[in-house]
Structure 1
Amino acid sequence: MDKKVYNKQSAVCNCLNLRRASQAITEVYDEFLAPSELKISQFSLLKHIKHMGPVSVSALALKIRLDRTTLVRNLKPIEVRGLITDIAEKGTRNRQLKLTDKGLETFEKAERLWSEAQSFIEQYLGKDDINTLTVLLSKIEALVP
């Protein structure tokens, strides 16, 4: 990735700084993942479904800490693209999601691109700052039960 780095001024508000950082990191991952036609949020869903699958929507929502309504809305595009399927018996209310062959192929291609994004971020920030960032983000997440 040939990305210019701009020195941007931080805001006084911690929340605003975190939101800006989140948007920036999302943009970097999305740019790396573009050849797979996945966004980082979609890649994350495929990754969790692959490792947990078949998985119910409720279990997936708990694992990724997303409310069910938002999760169902985010699952739609990857379901429409034929990347996941519901293998639950007809007539049951509890969906069981798993990757299709196309989904697995897309995931594997995207996983290589995701690894490149990971490396780029690690090289840009450095190992020590990545470790510090991980600790700080965990502390921030712990603010809310």
Structure 2
Amino acid sequence: MKNNEKKSSICNCLNLRRAASTITKIYDEKLSPSGLTVSQYSILKHLKFFGPISVSDLAIKIRLDRTTLVRSFKPLEAASLIIDVSQKGTRNRQLQLTQKGIEKYIEAEYLWNDAQNFIEQELGKENIEKLTSLLSVIERLGS
């Protein structure tokens, strides 16, 4: 085995986590000129599409843990990319993109597409389709 070859584990979970980590790293590197991570970009993208939206509804729509999502909002709010537009005194936050957030999303969209294209070129369209199908099956296992 060559030094740069990585051996798969017998553990499916570990193999999936390693692959997810690699994919995340690729997207984060491609998005780095925008100052966003892939997680932050995804939030901006979904807020642009759904916003204004409650935190709970957003978590359901993008199928992420609410607590994890809330942690991801902090740097976006600090950078004035998202804002809570809920009525004063209400407990249910309603988030939406600011104008600065829309501009940042547009800036990052090109970089995100570059990451998408890179992954598709490396894996091939047919393998991407298989991967997407398998990941959907895996996700349904938890339902």
TM-score, normalised by the number of residues in structure 1: 0.94
**Which consecutive aligned stretches of 4+ in structure 1 deviate over 4 angstroms post-superposition?**
none
Q: Distance in 2 between matches of 1:132 and 1:11?
A: 21
Q: Distance in 1 between matches of 2:22 and 2:124?
A: 17
1:83 and 2:59 equivalent? no
Mean alpha-carbon deviation: is it higher for 61-70 or for 119-128? 61-70
Q: Residue 124 of structure 1 aligns to which amino acid in structure 2?
A: E
CA deviation vs aligned residue, 1:11-69 (integer Å, no higher than 9, x gap): 11111100000000000000000000000000001111110001111100101112222
User: Over the residues paired in the alignment, what is the CA RMSD in angstroms?
Assistant: 0.9
In the alignment, structure 2 segments of 5+ residues that lack a partner are none
Matched residue, 1:29: 27
Q: Please point out which of 121, 129, 132 is paired with 2:130.
A: 132
TM-score, normalised by the number of residues in structure 2: 0.95
Matched residue, 2:99: 101
Q: Residue 134 of structure 1 aligns to which amino acid in structure 2?
A: T
**What is the aligned length?**
140
- The alpha carbon displacement at 1:74 in A equals 1.2
Q: Please point out which of 58, 61, 64 is paired with 1:60.
A: 58
Q: Give aligned-pair identity as a percent.
A: 61
In the alignment, structure 1 segments of 5+ residues that lack a partner are 1-5
Q: Matched residue of 1:92: which SS?
A: coil
Matched residue, 2:108: 110
CA deviation vs aligned residue, 1:43-99 (integer Å, no higher than 9, x gap): 001111110001111100101112222211111111111000011111111111110
Q: Distance in 2 between matches of 1:60 and 1:105?
A: 21
